[in-house]
Amino acid sequence: MSVLPHVPTDEVAGPLCAEVTRFAARSIDARAIDRAGAIPAGVLGGLAELGLFGLTLPAAHGGAGCGLLTACQVVAELARFDRSVAVTLGLHLGLGTRGLVAFGTSEQHERYLPSLAAGERLAAFATTEPQAGSDLSNLATRALEAADGSLVVNGRKVFVTNGGLAGLYTLAVATPGLGGRERGQSLVLVERGDAGLTVEAEECKLGLKGSSTTGLVLEDVRLPSSRLLGEPGWAAKGLAHILSWGRTLMSAGCVGTARAALDKVHGQVAHRRQFGKPLAALEVVREQVALLEALTFGMAALVDEVARADDEALLGRSLAAKVYSSESAWRVVDGAIQLHGGLGFIEDTGLAVMLRDVRVTRIFEGANDVLLSHLGAGELTRTKERAPLTGAVGLPLAGLATKADALAAQVEARRQELLARYKVGVFRQPRWMHQLGGACCWREAVDAAVRRAAVSARPEDVARASLLTLRASAEVSRLLEEPAPRDLVEVALSDTLPFPEVRP
């Protein structure tokens, strides 16, 4: 099982993004897409003409052969104009085609990649089921091997992004017995025209209305064994890689959404007057705007680092990028609405659609609550030490590096305390794992922001990294030192509060 190396493509990303910006400014109308509940065919055609559907697909099969970093930059840029468009492309490049590119056979590449690269066929990815959301170990959709060696798939997938548009689906299914694994899972490729596959009606959603979301019903779908993707019965490793791409691209979309919200904030505070002054002249407003900029700076820095990471680092760091970016984008858009006052609540302002669109990012690609537990568990079992920033960045940022190291030391002290106090029993302390996971997200964002400021050396970037570090220190202290009071937990979990009966 080989994973293609990430191709360094910094040199093409700049001009490409400029072209994407020109196209998006001319052709993408977020409010119209939101109202229509669909992306116009002309927009998808324009993305195809720009070659974006083949961006990360191998050049030998019609793609551009770019890496995750370039894809993130393009998705972030598209998200500035409309999140549904960004999600449609990001899903195609990440979850939709990454498994095929990384683990597909040469026959599979030849059969599918040219049309996928050209945008003639879109890709989707389906794991979630009615009874299994973030829990991939409990898949009910099964592919059983028939006597002739083919696979017969039965089951149902829900919330499939690009479901209604796609021509090719990568499905995670249980394959009991396949590859000698009694409880194995595999990835299979299902084509839109396969007999027994029904694409259900579009879901009516809170946001991302232009993005297609459907269910898939599979009734005795018979697939030749050549549709297996990767090693039979061994989906876990492939899934981890595919999901880390998906999470990183989704995080990049959050960067774009936050930038779009900030663009609106800048216009608002420069022109809107209150108490005889432009809003931008009010200290409390400046402080709020600066904080939103700092959060966004941290998102961009973290996503940029994660997208450049090797595969091993990508697996762990993409979790932190996903949680931090989705939570921060939500804060930034909410803060932007607040700074617009009543105008922020009006559809024409364009922030309402951003808020609706960004809400799901805290849920899909792994619900943040679940990912925080994984982050906490990963931190508790971590064997590699964090490299200190002090000494690693230049003198002008030495003070900032010291603060970032102090924040990391605070997280490390809590980690050591938990390990000493609970030993292996710490894994039965979900609240502590959550808190530690949350603190790790702030640490990762701060580290990335300080490194990015050190490289750019622009005073405004140093100021943003500094503000982010101050804010993160306060957040980490709150997280680690002020757990929910014991009294509150006892009341919340007591029998006196009515709660639905738990059925086994």
Partner 1 sequence: MSPDTSVERRVIHIISQLVPVKPEAIKPHHRLREDLGMDSVASMELLSMLAEELELDVGVEDVADVHTVAATVALAEAFLAKKKVA
Q: In this structure, what are the phi and psi dihedrals at residue 125, rounded to the nearest 5 degrees?
A: -140, 135
8 A C-beta contact, residue 64 and residue 57: yes
With CA atoms as reference, report the closest residue to 210 among 44, 50, 322: 44
Catalytic residue among 365, 385, 444, 475: 365
Per rule CB under 8 A, is residue 355 in the interface with partner 1? no
- Give the shortest CB-110-to-partner 1 separation in angstroms: 30
- Exactly one of 74, 136, 260, 285 binds partner 1 (CB under 8 A); that residue is 136
Per rule CB under 8 A, is residue 234 in the interface with partner 1? yes
Contacts of 434 (CB under 8 A, 6+ apart): 369, 372, 373, 376
Per rule CB under 8 A, is residue 431 in the interface with partner 1? no
- Exactly one of 10, 59, 60, 138 binds partner 1 (CB under 8 A); that residue is 138
Residue 365 annotated in active site: yes
Q: For the segment 396-425, give every residue that binds partner 1 (CB under 8 A).
A: 419, 423-425
- Tokens representing residue 134 in the block: 């973030």
**Of 29-37, 79-87, 163-171, 175-183, which segment contacts partner 1 by CB under 8 A?**
175-183
Helix, strand, coil percentages for the chain (3-state, nearest 5)? 65, 10, 25
- Angle (CA) 240-242-247 rounded to 5° is 90
- Give the shortest CB-352-to-partner 1 separation in angstroms: 37
CA dist 95 and 102 (Å) reads 11
- Exactly one of 25, 206, 236, 492 binds partner 1 (CB under 8 A); that residue is 236
What distances in angstroms separate CA 43 from CA 24, 68, 189, one per listed residue? 8, 23, 27
CA dist 222 and 208 (Å) reads 33
Which of 23, 234 has the CB closer to partner 1? 234
Per rule CB under 8 A, is residue 503 in the interface with partner 1? no
- Exactly one of 4, 144, 217, 377 binds partner 1 (CB under 8 A); that residue is 377
Per rule CB under 8 A, is residue 480 in the interface with partner 1? no
**Of 246-254, 267-275, 373-381, 478-486, which segment contacts partner 1 by CB under 8 A?**
373-381
Binding residues with partner 1: total (CB under 8 A): 26
Residues in the chain: 504
- Exactly one of 22, 35, 183, 271 binds partner 1 (CB under 8 A); that residue is 183
With CA atoms as reference, report the closest residue to 93 among 43, 44, 52: 52
Per rule CB under 8 A, is residue 186 in the interface with partner 1? no
Q: Is 127 exposed, middle or buried (0-12, 13-18, 19+ CB in 10 A)?
A: buried
- Give the shortest CB-423-to-partner 1 separation in angstroms: 5
Residue with tokens 């500035």: 80
Q: Which residues are catalytic?
A: 365
* Residues of the shown chain interacting with partner 1 in the complex, contacts defined by CB under 8 A: 135-138, 181-185, 234, 236, 373-374, 377-378, 380-381, 383, 419, 423-428, 433
